[in-house]
Amino acid sequence: MCGDRVNTMSLPHALLGLLAEQPASGYELAKLFDLSLANVWPAKHSQIYPALAKLSTSGFVVASEEGPRGRKEYTITDDGRAELERWLVEEPSEHAVRHDDLLRAFFLWTLGADGAVAHFEREAADANDVGQQFTQLYRDVDWDDSDAALYAAIVLEQGRRWSAMRAEWSLWAVEQINAHRTAKTLTGRLPDSAFDPPAE
């Protein structure tokens, strides 16, 4: 009806995406964010409620009458589905994220080799923990046969692979620092092996 076209930010689309599966209240959506999107796109209820109100005035969702405890159930409209699909297809993803752990790594030289090595070893242990948690989460979730479940599993798998990469990279960094520690005065070279072109 009204082609308002939500701009670049993703929270409204995340809400549309969740509502594409089934209608839900703001409260339920907040829970879904905590359960399934906590590591992807966190959002608090204080952000969700106003966003739903705005989606409603834009005509991308409709709210039911107030239920038991003032509960309002939102249902996605055809316009909402169209906007969701437009976002999925047209909107370029800006995979420019803020990595505070990489920022730290960048400045780790100020701690000296020992401090940096300790840091990366902690990082590796932490990454393995997180990977285990993802694996456990995969086991705990009651997956159904839906398409949505498949894609949720695919996302979770990236989490697992990311953790594995981070652990391996951290240990690799330790090796590099130790090599640099002794080799610096001899050759002063940076690692070659780091930049073998990625396998196609």
Partner DNA sequence: ATGATCATGTAAACTGTTACATGATTGT
Partner DNA sequence: ACAATCATGTAACAGTTTACATGATCAT
- Note the residues at the interface with DNA (CB under 7 A): 7-11, 25-28, 30, 42-47, 49-50, 52-53, 67-72, 98
The interface mask with a second copy, positions 81-120, x = CB under 8 A, is: x--xx-xxx---xxxxxxxxxxxxxxxxxxx---xx--x-
Q: Which is nearer to DNA, 43 or 130 (CB)?
A: 43
Q: Residue 124 is inside which H or E element, if any? A: helix 112-140
Could you tell me the smallest distance in angstroms from the CB atom of residue 3 to a second copy? 19
Could you tell me the smallest distance in angstroms from the CB atom of residue 8 to a second copy? 9
3-state secondary structure 132-146: HHHHHHHHHCCCCCC
Angle, CA 180 vertex, CA 174 and CA 185 arms, to 5°: 160
Beta bridge pairs of residue 61: 76
Task: Classify residue 90 by its DSSP letter.
Answer: T
Please give the Cα distance from 194 to 66 (Å, whole number). 59
> Of 22-30, 44-52, 58-66, 161-169, which segment contacts a second copy by CB under 8 A?
161-169
Contact partner, 184, from a second copy, DNA, none, Cβ < 5-8 Å per class: a second copy
Record the tokens describing residue 72, joined without a space. Answer: 């309002």
Touching a second copy, residues 14-33 (CB under 8 A) = 14, 17, 20
